[in-house]
Chains A and B, each alone.
Chain A
Amino acid sequence: MRPWVLRFARRKDELHEELRAHLQMAVADRMERGETTDEARQNAIREMGNLPLIEDVTRAMWGGMWLERVLQDMKYALRQIRRAPGFSVTVVVTLALGLGATVAMYTVVDRVLLRPLPYRDAGSLVKIETMTSNGGSPLIDIEEWQARSHALQSIAFYDADSSNAHLAFIEGKDESTQVAEPHVSANLFPTLGVRAAMGRTFLEGKGGAVREEDAHTLLLSDTVWRGGFGADPHIIGRVIRVSGESFTVIGVMPRGFTFPYGIQRSAVWKPIVPVAADMTRKGDETPRHDTIARLKSGVSLSAAAAELKGIQAGVARQYPDAEYRAHVASIRMQRYGDSLVNEDVRKSLLALGGASGVLWLIACVNVTSLLLARAAARQREIAVRGALGASRWRIVQQLVIEGLMLSVVASALGIGLAMLTLRMFEHGLKTQFHIYTTLTPNLRVLGALLVLTVMSALVSSVWPAMAAARAAIDPALREGATQSGTGRRQHRLRGLLVVAEIAMSLTLLVACGLLLRTIYALRHVPLGFRTDHVMVANMSIPNYKYAGRDLYKDLYGPLLGRVQHMPGVDSASLMSEVPLGQTFNIVFSFGDGNSSAVDLRRGKIRAKASGVTPDNQKVFGFSMLRGRFFNNGDTATSTPVVVVNREFVREYEGHEGDPGEILGTPLLGSRKEKQPVVVGVLDDERQVAVARPSQAEIEVCLPQVTPGSMFYEPAGMAMDLAVRTERDPAEMTPELRRVLREASPELANSTFTTMDQVVEDSYGSQQLAARLLETFGGTALVLCIAGIYGLLAYLVTQRTRELGIRLALGAQRGRVMGMVLWQAGRMLLCGVGAGLMLAYISVRLLHTLLYGVTAHDPWTMVAVTLMLLTGGLAAAYLPARRAAGVDPMEALRSE
Chain B
Amino acid sequence: MGTKNSYQNRIELVQGTLDMLLLRSLQWGPQHGYGLVQALRTHSGDVLQVETGSLYPALHRLERQGWVRSEWKQTESKQRAKYYRITPQGKKQLLANVDRWQQMVQAVGAILEREPEGSDA
Contact = CB atoms under 8 A, between A and B. Distances in A.
Interface in B67-88: 75, 77, 79-82
A24 B79 contact: yes
Interface in B29-47: 32-35, 38
Interface in B3-26: 3
Interface in A48-74: 48-50, 53-54, 57-63
A25 B82 contact: no
Interface stretch (A14-22, A503-511, A629-637): A14-22
A206 interface: no
Contacts of A50: 53
B64 A54 contact: no
Interface in A1-28: 14-15, 17-19, 21-22, 24-26, 28
Contacts of A53: 53
Contact of A49 (B38, B53, B64): B53
B60 A25 contact: no
B51 interface: yes
A59 B59 CA distance: 11
A692 interface: no
A12 to B, nearest CB: 12
A46 interface: yes
Contact of B52 (A17, A22, A28, A63): A22
Contacts, number: 62
A22 B56 CA distance: 10
A586 to B, nearest CB: 79
A14 B33 CA distance: 13
Contact of A21 (B38, B60, B61, B80): B80
Contacts of A14: 82
Q: B38, B75, B82: which has the most chain A beta carbons within 10 Å?
A: B82
A92 B73 CA distance: 52
Nearest to A59: B60
B53 A54 contact: yes
B83 to A, nearest CB: 10
Interface in A603-630: none
A97 B13 CA distance: 60
A556 to B, nearest CB: 83
A99 to B, nearest CB: 40
B56 A54 contact: yes
A128 B32 CA distance: 81
Given A21-B81, A28-B77, A49 B57 contact: no
Interface residues of B, number: 20
Contacts of B79: 21, 24-25, 28
A73 to B, nearest CB: 23
Given A21-B32, A25-B34, A57 B57 contact: yes
B4 to A, nearest CB: 11
A62 B79 CA distance: 25
Given A46-B3, A53-B53, A54-B52, A61 B61 contact: yes
B82 to A, nearest CB: 5
A658 B32 CA distance: 114
Contacts of B56: 15, 18-19, 54, 57-58
Contacts of A54: 52-53, 56-57
Contact of B33 (A18, A28, A57): A18
Contact of B51 (A29, A49, A58, A63): A49
Contact of A22 (B3, B33, B51, B64): B33
A21 B72 CA distance: 11
Interface in A714-747: none
B8 to A, nearest CB: 15
B57 A60 contact: yes
A63 B65 CA distance: 11
A25 B75 CA distance: 10
Nearest to A19: B56
Contact of A63 (B34, B38, B64, B75): B64
A54 B34 CA distance: 14
Contacts of B80: 17, 21
B61 to A, nearest CB: 4
A49 to B, nearest CB: 5
B64 A58 contact: no
Given A53-B53, A54-B53, A18 B81 contact: yes
Contacts of B53: 49-50, 53-54, 57
A50 B56 CA distance: 13
Contacts of A60: 57
A21 B34 contact: yes
A33 to B, nearest CB: 12
Nearest to B38: A29
B60 A58 contact: yes
Contacts of A61: 57, 60-61, 64
A19 B52 contact: yes
A426 B60 CA distance: 58
A379 B52 CA distance: 38
A18 B81 CA distance: 6
Among A14, A48, A49, A61, find the residue whose CB has the most chain B CB atoms closer than 10 A.
A61
Contacts of A48: 52
Contacts of A26: 34
Contacts of A29: 38
Contacts of B3: 46
A8 to B, nearest CB: 14
A708 to B, nearest CB: 91
With most chain B CB atoms within 10 A of its CB, the pick from A14, A18, A60, A63 is: A18
A48 B34 CA distance: 10
Interface string B79-109: 1111000000000000000000000000000
Contacts of A58: 56-57, 60
B19 to A, nearest CB: 12
Interface string A33-57: 0000000000000111110011001
Contacts of A25: 32, 34-35, 75, 77, 79, 81
A42 to B, nearest CB: 11
A44 to B, nearest CB: 10
A19 B59 CA distance: 12
A817 to B, nearest CB: 63
A619 B52 CA distance: 96
Interface in A78-110: none
A55 B79 CA distance: 20
A16 to B, nearest CB: 11
Residue among B3, B51, B56 having the largest count of chain A Cβ atoms under 10 Å: B56
A17 B56 CA distance: 12
A64 to B, nearest CB: 10
A62 B52 contact: no
Contacts of A28: 77, 79
Nearest to A60: B57
A24 B79 CA distance: 8
Contact of B82 (A21, A46, A59, A63): A21
A25 B81 CA distance: 9
Q: Most A CB atoms within 10 A — which of B3, B52, B77?
A: B52
Contacts of B38: 29
Nearest to B80: A21
Interface string A513-549: 0000000000000000000000000000000000000
Contacts of B51: 49
A843 to B, nearest CB: 62
Given A46-B3, A50-B53, A22 B61 contact: no
A207 B3 CA distance: 99
- Which of A19, A46, A58, A59: most chain B CB closer than 10 A? A58
10 contacts: A18-B33, A19-B52, A19-B56, A21-B79, A21-B80, A22-B32, A49-B51, A49-B53, A54-B56, A58-B60
The 5 A-B pairs at the shortest CB distance, nearest first, are namely A61-B60, A25-B34, A58-B56, A61-B61, A21-B81
Given A21-B82, A47-B52, 10 more contacts: A14-B82, A15-B56, A17-B80, A17-B82, A21-B33, A22-B33, A25-B77, A25-B79, A54-B56, A58-B57
Interface of A: 14-15, 17-19, 21-22, 24-26, 28-29, 46-50, 53-54, 57-63
